[in-house]
Amino acid sequence: MNNKIVITNDGSHSIFNPEINETYHSKHGAIVEAEYVFIKNGLLAENKKKFNILEVGFGTGLNALLTLQKSQQKEIDINYHGIELYPVLEKSYSQLNFTELIGEEKSKLLQLHECKWEEEQVLNNFFKLTKNKISLENYTTKTKFDIIYFDAFSPEKQPKLWTAEIFKNMYNLLNKDGFLVTYCAKGIVKRTMKAVGFEIIVLDGPPGKRQMTRANKTTSQK
């Protein structure tokens, strides 16, 4: 897979995957999108100091990096799990400019990528990371999550990751007051989420997108 580094509209990098003809982030701004969807409307949407977070699509490590940064700044205890079947190679992730744009040391992004797979790694006093090299369909864990960052490639490119079966599994992985956030707001995706029990909240989208989705685990089901 001959991935290519590209620059998005906010100056931050993304990776273009020619196999599926899609970038890992919005062309309108990788950092802007991630900050808006997963940090503002995910991590910082709840006034809590402790979270279990699952990221579907660890990818470039950007969402994990931003969450790591916020955990330190705001002293939030994060137990972070990431799923990625096709890890980004060193020749790609070593070029990414995220850290210089957000004022962090390059070593922090490298550490996220170079941590051992399938083992919990303690990165600092506030952030633990467990990466799983496995398909979403086969992922299992005893951990219950407060937030799921659902950042898979689009439904058009990876339809098998946006099915009722997948979202039912996501629903079951959440704590009773947990929720899922995703950049996607397509009608068929929202209907599928609702069908398995989620309460759907449509939010304004990041630059370049009209809407995004928050899916709450409803109290009427366990």
Q: Considering the domain boundaries, does residue 16 fall inside one?
A: no
Which tens digit of pLDDT belongs to each residue from 123-159? Answer: 999 999 999 999 999 999 999 999 999 999 999 999 9
Residue 72 included in any domain? yes
Domain housing 84: 29-217
Q: What is the pLDDT of residue 219?
A: 63
The total of structural domains in the chain comes to 1
Dihedral sign (CA 27, 29, 30, 32)? negative
pTM assigned to the model: 0.96
Interval 73-105: pLDDT, tens: 999 999 999 999 999 999 999 999 999 999 999
For the chain, the 3-state helix, strand and coil shares in percent, each to the nearest 5, are 30, 30, 40
- Is there a domain that residue 17 lies in? no
Q: Is the residue at 22 inside a domain?
A: no
pLDDT attached to residue 222: 42
- Rounded CA gap, 178 and 199, in Å? 11
In whole angstroms, give the CA distance from residue 43 to residue 89: 27
Question: Helices 106-114 and 62-74 sit at what angle, rounded to 10 degrees?
Answer: 120
Question: Does residue 199 form part of some domain?
Answer: yes
The answer to whether residue 102 sits within a structural domain is yes
CATH number of 153's domain: 3.40.50.150
Count other C-beta atoms under 10 Å from residue 171's C-beta: 19
SS3 category, 167: helix
Whether 41 is covered by a domain: the verdict is: yes
